[in-house]
Structure 1
Amino acid sequence: MVLGIENRGDGTDFEHVTEATMRAMALASTSEPMASSRTDPADPVAQNVSDLRVSVVPSPTATISAARGEADARALWQGHHDTAIHAAHAPSSILARALFDAAERARVEAYGTRYLLGAARNIVAAHERHAEEMNYPQALGQDPATLPDAFEYLLRETLTAAAPPMSACDMVESWRSLLGPGLAEARPALCEALPDQARFAECVLHLIREIDGRQRTLRTRAVRPGTPETSRLEETRDGADENELPESPPDDETVPETASAAATGARPTMQPPYRIYCREFDEIVAAERLCSVSELTALRGKLDESDRIDRPQLIRSSRWLERRLSARLRGPWEGGHDEGLLDSGRLARALASPARPLVYRQRQDARRMDTAVTLLLDVSNSMRGKRIVLAALCADQLCFALDRIGITTEILGYTTRAWKGGRSRERWESAGSPGNPGRLTDLRHIVFKSAAAPYRRARRALGLVLQRGLLKENVDGEALLWAHRRLAARSEQRRILVVICDGEPSDESTLTDNREQYLSDHLRAVISEIETRSAVELMGIGICHDVSRLYRRSASLANADDLGPTLMRMVGAVLAPS
Structure 2
Amino acid sequence: MAEQPKTPHQHKTNELYAATVRALSNNSHIHYRRNRLYQGNTPLPFFAAHLQSPIIESNISAKRGNIDAISLRLNHSDIELHQQLSPTEPTERLLFELLEQFRVETCIPPQLSGMKTNIQHNFSLWADQFHHTGLTGTRLGLLLYTVAQISRSRLMAQPVSAHTEDFIESTRAAIVPILGEALSGLRRCKNSQQDYAQYALELAKIVSDMIQAEMQNNPDDAENKTDQKTLNAFSLLLDFDSDESANIAAVVSGSSKIYQENHQYYQVYTTQYDREIEAATLVRDALLIEYREKLDKRIQHQGINIKNIAQQLAAILCTPQRNGWSFDEEEGHLDGRRLSQLISSPAERRLFCTEQYKPHSDSIVSFLIDCSGSMREHIENITIIIDIMVKALGMAGITSEVLGFTTNAWNGGKAYSDWLSTGRPAFPGRLNEACHLIFKDADTNWRRSRKNIAALLKADLFREGIDGEAIEWACNR
TM over 0.5: no
With structure 2 as the length reference, what TM-score do the two structures score? 0.39
- From the CA coordinates, give the structure whose radius of gyration is larger: 2
What is the TM-score when the length of structure 1 is the normalising length?
Answer: 0.32
Give 1 or 2: higher helix fraction.
2
